Chains A and B, each alone.
Chain A
Amino acid sequence: MPPKLTQPVKRTRYFPGKRTSRSPSPSSSSDSESGPQGEDEQRTVKTEDVTELISEIGESASEAENSDEERDKQVSVRRQALGGTKPVVQSLKEVNLNERFKEETAIVESEYEESEEEHESVDESESESDVESESEEENKVLLRPVFVPRNKRATKEAKPQFAYDTTADDEARKEKKKEETLAMIEQQIRAEAAAHAAASLHEDNIIANAEDIDDNDDVDPLAERAAWKLRELKRIKRERDELEQRERELQEIEMRRNMDDNERLKEDLARVRQQQEEKIKNRGKMGFMQKYYHKGAFYQDMDILNRTNYNAEALEDDIRDKTALPKIMQVRGDQFGKRGRSKWTHLLNEDTSQNTDSPWFRKDHGSKRTQEKLGGLHDAYPSKRKK
């Protein structure tokens, strides 16, 4: 049974946002946080305040049904009761968020300590007071959280500063990076060009650039003379070799003239045999399944024909050793899997019945009984004649 009150109170329903009467009511108190009702005047005041505070918190979501003046009056009264010193905003419509922002920045630091203290003192008390203290802060500065850009924040100094990264030098840093990459690319290109030039120089003594060649004769005359000597000696040697070969030919012609027919024939055959042997010896090994290419019967004297080795593999295949592949895949080009490739062999390669090594088909003493018993291993129509 609800306690009897001094004054009969009209039961008021609780609507969020709607003001309930100041006098404590059992309904209001029951809606509010739990606590003994009517016992402590301060406590009832507190619960009442809590109710109103809760209602006020909910006010942002819903519109106030009461008149603004009444509410504000109540708010001001409550604030004074709680010890607030801030001037109260008259109505929500007059709220200026910018002003609030400024207020907040001013207040936050100054009252941070205070709220801390309040928090500490309040922590010991019940949960209601927690709500109270939070709302106390909120009472002072009712603000919507406003985004503060990075460079306008008060906490900028608190952020750790990286030595290599400052936001103010963003563009300068980008430019520097660009330059670095360009320099790197340039260096790489130079190195490549130099390597290419060096390679070609090494190959053929050919230099692309005119400035690289020194036309000047005065540089190191001794070296020049030595080089010239070498060249001259090579030329002399070449001439002498030509002479010798010519003499040899002449000699051979003389000898042949003096020979008989038979001897000439013998000599010819010997020469031919020797040539064939040399050819076979010098012939390289052809690759597995490599196509045979004949150079042609004409122009055999041309040296250009001897340059390429037609026995070597022409293509660079992924699979070097085709012998490792299954027999089906040992085909040239793209013939694998194509029609007409496989030859019907009556499955002779897969026929294991003639394989006498297998114990199934051996005519042992031990397998004799097995073969009699097992089906499919003896003839369908065995002859009556004993084997």
Chain B
Amino acid sequence: METGPERGITLERGLVKGPEIHSQNPARLIEKIIRERILDSPYWKEQCFGLTAATLCDRAVELTYIGGQFGQQRPTPFLCLAFKAIQLQPEKEIILEYLAAEDFKYLRALAAFYIRLTFPAADIYKLLEPLLADYHRLKLRSMNGFRLIHIDEFADMLLTEERVCDIALPRLPKRIVLEDMEELEPRESALGSELSDSEGDSDDTNEVERNNGINSKEGQ
């Protein structure tokens, strides 16, 4: 079976010409079912035709929520744009720029998602851990409805879980493994300074938890 976008109607639509990611066609990072749904969705057909990296950025800025599938298994615009990014394969610098866009949190989230899907393991840890300090709010849409989430929670999900936004993420080795292989250094949390100031870590956690007991409910 010939594959490739220049060959008429094939069983595999939306495949990418170019270097392979994780030793497979980049489009295959997203499973077939979801890929088909994305390609059939109205948002894809209307908005994602003929996008470039720049215009993709414009679309991403207009996003109002992240998510995988909702309602009757409809893909979110976020997911469509992520797939478009996979198809476009923009340069690393562009993605880093998107990630550094402080004003547009949904663009940031999109860049983070793309990084998690395509970049090598050490880079993922290096790039996504700064996001753990960002506590801006995001809207997450899923089959159950909308949910409030923060950027740091989203980054944590990307680093820890196997399935985010209905996409099975590529395998990511544990941080310890990479530390042992000396590709990484142990994580320094943004709270590192505060932790070291107090006498004991456990005291600090207890104290902060008690103080934040009421506030956390509001925030989350």
- Contact with B191, one of A207, A215, A222, A232 (Cβ below 8 angstroms): A232
- Contact with A227, one of B135, B147, B190, B195 (Cβ below 8 angstroms): B135
The residues of B that contact A210 with a CB separation of less than 8 Å are 64-65, 139, 141, 146
Give bound CA distance, A207 to B148, whole Å: 8
Q: Is the CB of B191 within 8 A of A206?
A: no
Give bound CA distance, A209 to B152, whole Å: 23
**Can you list, as one digit per residue, whether each of B174-195 has a CB less than 8 Å from chain A (1) or not (0)?**
0110000000000101110001
The residues of B that contact A232 with a CB separation of less than 8 Å are 132-133, 152, 189-191
Known interface pairs A210-B139, A232-B132; A227-B215 also in contact (CB < 8 Å): yes
Give bound CA distance, A236 to B175, whole Å: 13
Decide yes or no whether A336 CB sits under 8 A from chain B: no
The residues of A that contact B65 with a CB separation of less than 8 Å are 210
The residues of A that contact B52 with a CB separation of less than 8 Å are none
Give bound CA distance, A231 to B215, whole Å: 12
Decide yes or no whether A205 CB sits under 8 A from chain B: yes
- Contact with B205, one of A205, A213, A220, A233 (Cβ below 8 angstroms): A233
The residues of B that contact A243 with a CB separation of less than 8 Å are 176
Task: Please provide the chain B residues from 9 to 53 with a CB less than 8 Å away from any CB of chain A in the complex.
Answer: none
Give bound CA distance, A206 to B112, whole Å: 23
Residue in A closest to B105 when the chains form the complex, CB atoms: A217
- Contact with A217, one of B64, B136, B142, B144 (Cβ below 8 angstroms): B136
The residues of A that contact B189 with a CB separation of less than 8 Å are 232, 235-236
Give bound CA distance, A164 to B137, whole Å: 57
- Contact with A231, one of B148, B152, B187 (Cβ below 8 angstroms): B152
Give bound CA distance, A265 to B150, whole Å: 50
Task: Please provide the chain B residues from 167 to 220 with a CB less than 8 Å away from any CB of chain A in the complex.
Answer: 175-176, 187, 189-191, 195, 204-205, 208-209, 211-212, 215-216, 218-220
The residues of A that contact B137 with a CB separation of less than 8 Å are 214-217, 224
Decide yes or no whether A40 CB sits under 8 A from chain B: no
Task: Please provide the chain A residues from 217 to 238 with a CB less than 8 Å away from any CB of chain B in the complex.
Answer: 217, 220, 222-233, 235-237
Give bound CA distance, A82 to B54, whole Å: 120
Decide yes or no whether A204 CB sits under 8 A from chain B: yes
Decide yes or no whether A253 CB sits under 8 A from chain B: no
Q: Is the CB of B144 within 8 A of A206?
A: yes
Give bound CA distance, A213 to B199, whole Å: 39
Q: Is the CB of A224 within 8 A of B147?
A: no
The residues of A that contact B139 with a CB separation of less than 8 Å are 210, 213, 215
Q: Is the CB of B218 within 8 A of A220?
A: yes
The residues of A that contact B176 with a CB separation of less than 8 Å are 242-243, 246
User: How far apart are B179's CB and chain A's nearest CB, in angstroms?
Assistant: 10
Residue in B closest to A240 when the chains form the complex, CB atoms: B201
Residue in B closest to A197 when the chains form the complex, CB atoms: B145
How many residues on A have C-beta within 8 angstroms of the other chain's C-beta atoms? 33
Give bound CA distance, A229 to B205, whole Å: 10
Decide yes or no whether A170 CB sits under 8 A from chain B: no
Give bound CA distance, A216 to B105, whole Å: 11
The residues of B that contact A237 with a CB separation of less than 8 Å are 205
Task: Please provide the chain B residues from 143 to 175 with a CB less than 8 Å away from any CB of chain A in the complex.
Answer: 144-148, 150, 152-153, 156, 175
User: How far apart are A362's CB and chain B's nearest CB, in angstroms?
Assistant: 76
Q: Is the CB of B218 within 8 A of A231?
A: no
Q: Is the CB of B208 within 8 A of A233?
A: yes
The residues of B that contact A213 with a CB separation of less than 8 Å are 139, 146-148
Task: Please provide the chain A residues from 151 to 193 with a CB less than 8 Å away from any CB of chain B in the complex.
Answer: none
Residue in A closest to B174 when the chains form the complex, CB atoms: A242
User: How far apart are B70's CB and chain A's nearest CB, in angstroms?
Assistant: 10
Give bound CA distance, A125 to B156, whole Å: 114
Looking at B65, B187, B189, B212, which has the most chain A CB atoms within 10 Å of its CB? B212
Decide yes or no whether A239 CB sits under 8 A from chain B: yes
The residues of A that contact B218 with a CB separation of less than 8 Å are 220, 223, 227
Q: Is the CB of B146 within 8 A of A226?
A: no
User: How far apart are A216's CB and chain B's nearest CB, in angstroms?
Assistant: 7
Q: Is the CB of B191 within 8 A of A226?
A: no
Decide yes or no whether A212 CB sits under 8 A from chain B: yes
The residues of A that contact B138 with a CB separation of less than 8 Å are 215
Give bound CA distance, A206 to B146, whole Å: 6
The residues of A that contact B190 with a CB separation of less than 8 Å are 232
Give bound CA distance, A283 to B208, whole Å: 38
Known interface pairs A215-B137, A235-B156; A230-B208 also in contact (CB < 8 Å): yes
Residue in A closest to B195 when the chains form the complex, CB atoms: A236
Q: Is the CB of A208 within 8 A of B146?
A: yes
Known interface pairs A232-B132, A232-B152, A233-B205; A227-B216 also in contact (CB < 8 Å): yes
Q: Is the CB of B152 within 8 A of A229?
A: no
Q: Would you list 6 pairs from A and B whose C-beta atoms are within 8 A, ordered by A residue?
A: A209-B146, A223-B219, A225-B135, A229-B191, A230-B212, A232-B132
Binding site for A on B (CB under 8 A): 64-65, 132-133, 135-139, 141-142, 144-148, 150, 152-153, 156, 175-176, 187, 189-191, 195, 204-205, 208-209, 211-212, 215-216, 218-220
List of 6 A-B pairs having minimum Cβ-Cβ separation, nearest first: A227-B219, A228-B135, A208-B145, A226-B215, A226-B212, A223-B215
Additional A-B contact list (9), CB under 8 Å, known A223-B215, A227-B150: A205-B220, A207-B145, A210-B146, A214-B148, A215-B137, A226-B219, A232-B190, A233-B191, A236-B195
